[in-house]
Structure 1
Amino acid sequence: MRFQLLGPLSIAEGHDAVVLKPSKPSSLLAALLLHPGSVVSTGYLLRALWDEDQPATARAALQSCVLRLRRLFTKYGVMGDVIEAVPGGYRMNADADTLDLVRFRTLVRAADGAGDAEGELYRLKEALTLWQGPLLANVPSPMLHRDEVPGLTEERLRTLERACDIELALGRCHQVLVDVWEAARRHPGRERFSEQLIEALYRTGRQSEALTEYRAVKGRLKEELGIDPGAALQRLELSILRGDDLGPAAVDRTVPLPGGPAPALTSGPAPLALTTSPAPAAAASHPSLPVGAPPRVPPVPCFTGRSAERTAIAASLASGSPGASTVVVLSGAPGIGKTALALQAAHDAQDRFPGGVFILPMTRPDGSSVTPAEAAAELPAPGAGRGRTLLILDDVTTADQVRPLLAAAAAGGAAVVTSRRGLAGLVATHGGTVHRLSTLDPVESEQLLTAALGRARVDAEPAAAQELARVCGHFPLGLRIAAARLLTRPGLRVADCVAWLAEDLPARLSLADDPRMSVPQVFARALHRLEPRWREAFRQIGHHEGLLLPSGALGDSAEAEEALERLADAGLLEEGPPGPYRIHQLLKIYARRQAREETRNPAAQAPH
């Protein structure tokens, strides 16, 4: 059992959480959890429950509230004498495994002592994922919201500032834009977020937008406070106007992070810029994820849904037999979320693999396949005595890519393999489990949008949010792209975004600053891997009406039947004999467009 304080107060077990109802016991529990392991005085608890309007029987009522809280614990399976009565008050012990606040501060302290930029960033990002919405939204204590919530919020914001500083220093300006854009809008009084946003815009070639943002900040400060921007912002504006090369971004190490000691001040004119050594070549398509034997595998941001698959994968990885490797295959359409599920499963299971988690992209950015020898060069030699290892082999194209690598996962190790193909040949020779991923259901789609956009924005337009999920076909990639567009345009209504996307699907499910975040590009890369005759068969499907394709949809020849089976194996169709094949609505629209382009230009080749 775990207590979750960084969001709505809840009690969690595994992936399930119970959000407590607003009540006096909820306020009491929050007051105790805010001071884990410390004696919380009776006077403080009385103020948490009744503020300054305490009844004459407040002390007796407090004891009654403690009893109610203990009964609540029993109801939800929290065993033992969790609340300890001590002279002067009560104490509730908690550690990093039982309270998210303790884990957050532990991770931040570990980040401060990581010694390298990557390790520090991994820990900070993992700490930030523990925050799950409005703080103590279901706790009705005015005193706690007045006296405690601002301090906790400050801890989170200092941590977020630090993480964004490091990402800028590492040159990940595109990746950090979404975070700093949202933070600058939500917290306009913190100039550092505005400075980070303006710097990120300028470093990504968006000079005019950076200057527009600066002028908006300057105007707001002048109107609301009668002051000019700080010296750092003014220097940044001057550099942008002159077109200066800013050089490597600097990280201020003189600002202490929450949960850790303040670092010693250093002499000199400015903080030193962070540097990092080059990552292995196999890490190219996952620059924010560790390869080799990193300290920790971070959770996937805003990961939701797939609870049945996560549970099944966790069980498979936990049941490895000595001397043999466990194989888990995740297959499905391009953009369906295979990689995200594999990385989240690695995060969930990493404590079972003391030999390390090795994340190996098996396809290069240009679409060519990584050879088994190239991938093996990133792994420890078999029998190196490192303990169980977990391999994440991402975007595998053939079973032959995988077989030579499984020796590295032997001795009870495991491999999670993602592929658009079913890899039946691999399963036939090495066994294992297969999970064919489908689109998210409507509830899971809403959960993803809520995790990405925040509950307030989804609740403000619930019908539009549901329509957004439908227009995106409940495709995880499409939903994340739409959410990113909304996050970077805080004034854009969800309904207006839906209408704009629907006018040109799936072409508008793309982000201009990252070609990997594009539904049509992902579809095009999947199609380009096929032989020309199978590409042509896919385009022919664009002429077919409806989403169901009977076995004779492309004709009655053996080659037509094989074409449907090849397309299904490539993740472009689903199901098949004895029932009909099905094509997802976004893929059908894409196939129809491909067919129209072929009609206009018969000599056109398949997209690259």
Structure 2
Amino acid sequence: MRFQLLGPLSITDGPDTVVLQPSKPTSLLAALLLHANGVVSAEHLQRAIWGEEQPVTAKAALQTCVLRLRRLFTKHGVTETPIEAVPGGYRITAGAQTLDLISFRERVRQAADLAHSPQSELHTLKDALSLWQGSLLANVRSDVLHRDEVPRLTEERLRTVERVCDLELGLGRCGEALVALWSETRANPGYERFYEQLIEALYRTGRQTEALAEYRRVKEYLLEELGVDPSPGLRRLELAILRGEDLGPSDGALQRQGGSVGVAAGVGAGAGAGVAAGVASGPGPGPDEATDAVAPRPTAPRHGGGPLLVGEDPSLVVPVPAVPSFTGRAVEVAAMVDRLTTPGDEAATVLVSGAPGIGKSALAHHVAHLVRDSFPAGRLLVRMVHPDGVPRRAADAAAAVAAALRDQEPGARALLVLDDVVDADQVRPLLPTGPGGAAIITSRMGLAGLIATHGGWVHRLSPLDEEDAYHLLLGALGAERVRPEEAAARRIADLCGHFPLALRIIAARLLTRPGLGLADGVGWLENDPLARLTLADSPRLSVQRVLSGALDRLDPHLAEAFVRVGSLPGKAIEAADGAEALGVSEDAAEEALERLADAGFLEEGPPGPYRVHELLRVYARRAAHHAIDLPTERV
């Protein structure tokens, strides 16, 4: 059993993870774990739970909260990390095996002892950073902890990332450094050292224009937002670039001469240009070392081809699978095929967005197979989240794609299908940038910022129309079974809300019961469609599970807003309805509704009103009925 603080607060037991929902016991546990093995005063715990203005019953309520937390431990089998009442407060005991924060700090200390070996230090620090799993304490509603503790922990991570980038630059691995630096500079615009490293890495890979553009970007930000000039280090770097000076080796650098840096030896005239944030000619590793600039060294053979990389997940990058009996989306299919196969001066990027279960991945996979002749280097599916729903790091994805493409012929085009992207920063380093490159992105989010900065075409999916939903069942179940009961088949499609995921699940259930008539299936499904749209032998493949997982990705306040507005009667939701349900102003309600629409939980009107799909409405009402403290969800 292990606690995870470096992300949403959760408890893991082997492959299972319980993500704790926002509650007072969750805030209490976070406050204790942040000071594990030490006594945390009752006063501090009370502030962490209730804030600076505490109720008069806070002391007694704290004891009740501790009791609830102990019961939660019992429920989830936590026995090795007891909560002790000690004079003056409480204490929780944990070690590196039971708390990720302690493990992170131990690995950072170990790395410091390896300063004589940059390779070993780098590997140990990356291992430490892999423990960070998303937004820090995202499910802990404590203003005190977010004000006092989160900045301190964030600073620890930033210092570690800075050291990793220094080591990568010193080892001549500018490509690897760029992957992290693109994201870090955008997420932490006031952290000037990251901009120094980014500009240096760009210049060392021959991208002088981009390096100067980044300098202007940070200079403008510092002047407009903070009223200060760039640091002396940044100004010296700009002057060196303008003069075209040789920066010389970074501290401890491994000097390499000549050649060009490129993913998969320059695959696709742009197909890999954004991959691993480093396809450019100029100073950098030679051809024999090109793979070192974007990926760890190979250690063991991969079954069926290519080397397996250190720390690589073999399920991250795979060939795009076929989609059996794909039906509908004729307009989207035709447009996507045309955009991916028509030659142009820029890379082709297509975004497919929409609600959970709406069929984004199926459409992307189907189109990828239709255009296979245009991409002789292959069509690669890049899974941007782990099976448990945790987003993958852009650096890991970039390294895996680089490894998958490294043996391709120069100039061969490859298509990347970046599946289930969580946010724009996760995918920017992977996007192709030159002619011939192509990528299909699927995401529940609208990713408008990505389209604004990188261009591309957007297909926002709605449920299938009545005929397409019927023909999906026809193709999956066979005409001999569907034609005699066409009315029942259409009723099943209606009960599934014309959602492709729901239709696939019910089709699979009916296929495993060949003696069950479709009319009987209608009666069985009508009783509780949300509960019945699941597969007994594959519990993760269920409409309710998919919706729960999608809701878990949202900010807890936004998730709660969906449960409230999604439970409203009627199909149309105006800003005034949202304001009444959420107890906020109409402007604030409209912002929440817009964010829910962007995340796929509401269907946009435009300009209004918003609408809730019936399956999502059933889910919201069930969640509202059962949620007292919003129960924990096992993922």
SS at match of 1:575: coil
Aligned-partner Cα distance in 1 for 2:442–2:376: 22
Answering whether residue 392 of structure 2 is matched by residue 370 of structure 1, we say: yes
Instruction: Judge conservation of contact 2:377–2:412 (CA < 8 Å) in 1.
Output: yes
* CA displacement, residues 372-418 of structure 1 (integer Å, 9 cap, x when unaligned): 111111223799724221100000000111110114x6341110000
Alignment partner of 1:517: what SS? Answer: strand
> Any conservation in 1 of the 2:470–2:493 contact (CA below 8 Å)?
yes
TM-score when normalising by structure 1? 0.50
8 Å CA contact 2:575–2:586 kept in 1: the answer is: no
Q: Which whole-Å CA distance do the structure 1 matches of 2:631 and 2:323 have between them?
A: 39
Segments of structure 2 that go 5 or more residues without pairing to the other structure are: 1-301, 580-584
Q: Is this contact kept in 1: 2:380–2:415, CA < 8 A?
A: yes
| Aligned-partner residue type, residue 583 of structure 1 | V
Counterpart CA distance in 2 for 1:282 and 1:576 is: 41
Q: Distance in 2 between matches of 1:379 and 1:603?
A: 39
Task: Assess, with a 3 A threshold, how the Cα gap between structure 1 residues 562 and 283 changes in structure 2: closer, same or farther.
Answer: farther
> 1:323-342: CA deviations, max 9, x gaps?
x3111000001000000000
Aligned to 1:394: 419
d(CA) in 2 for partners of 1:317 and 1:603?
44
From 324, 335, 338, the counterpart of 1:301: 324
1:566 to partner: Cα distance:
1.2
Pairwise CA distance, 1:283: 5.6
Is this contact kept in 2: 1:357–1:390, CA < 8 A?
yes
SS at match of 1:329: strand
* Cα pair 1:283 1:360 within 8 Å, conserved: no
Residue 500 in structure 1 maps to residue 547 in structure 2 = no
Contact 1:326–1:412 (8 Å) recurs in 2: yes
Amino acid of the residue matched to residue 483 of structure 1? Answer: A
The CA distance in 2 between the partners of 1:351 and 1:435, in whole Å, is 23
Judging changes above 3 Å, is the alpha-carbon distance between structure 1 residues 354 and 603 closer, same or farther for their aligned structure 2 residues?
Answer: closer
**Any idea what SS the aligned residue of 1:328 has?**
strand
Question: Match of 1:311, SS?
Answer: helix
CA gap 1:369/1:602 in 2 versus in 1, 3 angstroms: closer
1:447 equivalent in alignment to 2:478 = no
Equivalent position of 1:222 in the other structure: none
Match of 2:449?
425
Equivalent AA in structure 2 for residue 413 of structure 1: G
Match of 2:144 in 1: none
2-structure distance, mates of 1:278, 1:594:
46
1:552 match: secondary structure:
helix
Which residue matches 1:343? 365
C-alpha separation in 2, matches of 1:455 and 1:575: 35
Partners of 1:493 and 1:516 lie apart in 2 by 26
1:390 partner letter: L
2:620 maps to which of 591, 597, 604: 591
Aligned runs of 1:12-411 on 2, under 5 Å? 284=315, 291=318, 299-322=322-345, 324-380=346-402, 385-407=410-432, 410-411=434-435
Per the alignment, do residues 559 and 607 of structure 1 end up closer, same or farther by CA in structure 2, a change over 3 Å counting? Answer: farther
Q: Secondary structure at the match of 2:376?
A: coil
2:604 to 575, 584, 606: 575
Distance 1:463 1:393 in 2: 38
Preserved CA contact (<8 Å) 1:334 1:522: yes
Q: Distance in 1 between matches of 2:321 and 2:564?
A: 43
Q: CA deviation digits over 1:138-186, x for unaligned, max 9?
A: xxxxxxxxxxxxxxxxxxxxxxxxxxxxxxxxxxxxxxxxxxxxxxxxx
Asked if the contact 2:377–2:409 (Cα under 8 Å) also holds between the matched residues in 1, the reply is no
Where 2:401 maps in the other structure, the secondary structure is coil
- Matched-pair contact (CA < 8 Å) for 1:565–1:576: no
Cα distance in 2 for residues equivalent to 1:333 and 1:464: 26
CA deviations 1:448-500 (Å, max 9, x no partner) are 11111100100121110010000010000101111100100011111111111
Structure 2 residue aligned with 1:538, among 559, 562, 586? 562
CA distance in 2, matches of 1:543, 1:471: 18
Is the 8 Å Cα contact of residues 543 and 595 (structure 1) preserved in structure 2?
yes
SS of the residue aligned with 1:506?
helix
Asked if the contact 1:283/1:361 (under 8 Å) is kept, the reply is no
Query: How far, CA to CA, are the matches of 1:399 and 1:374 in structure 2?
Result: 16
Q: In the aligned structure 2, how far is the partner of 1:570 from the partner of 1:320?
A: 32
Residue 539 of structure 2 corresponds to which residue in structure 1?
515
The one-letter code matched in structure 2 to 1:319 is T
Equivalents in 2 of 1:524, 1:510: separation in Å?
13
Q: Which amino acid aligns with 2:631?
A: A
Find the aligned partners of 2:589 and 2:305 in 1 and give their Cα distance.
Answer: 48
Corresponding residue of 1:77: none
In 2 relative to 1, CA 580–467 (structure 1 residues): closer, same or farther, beyond 3 Å? same
CA deviation string 1:349-388 (max 9, x = no partner): 0110122211101011111111111111122379972422
Corresponding letter in the other structure for 2:369: H
Q: 1:333 to 1:444 in 2, by over 3 A?
A: same
- SS where residue 341 of structure 1 aligns? helix
Tell me, what secondary structure is at the counterpart of 2:459? Answer: strand
Report if the CA contact (8 A) 1:528-1:535 is conserved. Answer: yes
How far apart in 1 are the matches of 2:425 and 2:337? 25
User: Distance between the aligned counterparts of 1:523 and 1:385, measured in 2?
Assistant: 43
**Can you list the C-alpha shifts for 1:40-63, whole angstroms capped at 9, x where unaligned?**
xxxxxxxxxxxxxxxxxxxxxxxx
Kept in 2, the 8 Å contact 1:336–1:475? The answer is yes
Could you say what secondary structure the match of 1:393 adopts? strand
The alpha-carbon deviation at position 320 of structure 1 amounts to: 3.9
Aligned to 1:196: none
Q: Distance between the aligned counterparts of 2:588 and 2:339, measured in 1?
A: 38
Seen in structure 2, the aligned counterparts of structure 1 residues 496 and 578 have a Cα distance that, compared at 3 Å, is same
SS at 2:349 equivalent: strand
In 1: Cα distance, 2:539 partner to 2:343 partner: 38
Q: 1:471 aligns with which of 468, 478, 495?
A: 495
Native 8 Å contact 1:541 1:592 kept in 2: no
| Superposed displacement of residue 603, structure 1 | 5.5
Deviates more, 1:382-391 or 1:544-553: 382-391
Contact 1:551-1:577 at 8 Å conserved across structures: no
Change (3 A) 1:607 1:276: closer
CA–CA separation in structure 1 for the residues paired with 2:632 and 2:431: 37
| Matching residue of 1:489 | 513
TM-score (norm 2): 0.48
Aligned partner of residue 351 in structure 2, secondary structure: strand
Change (3 A) 1:564 1:446: same
Secondary structure of residue in 1 paired with 2:458 = strand
Other-structure match for 2:588 = 559
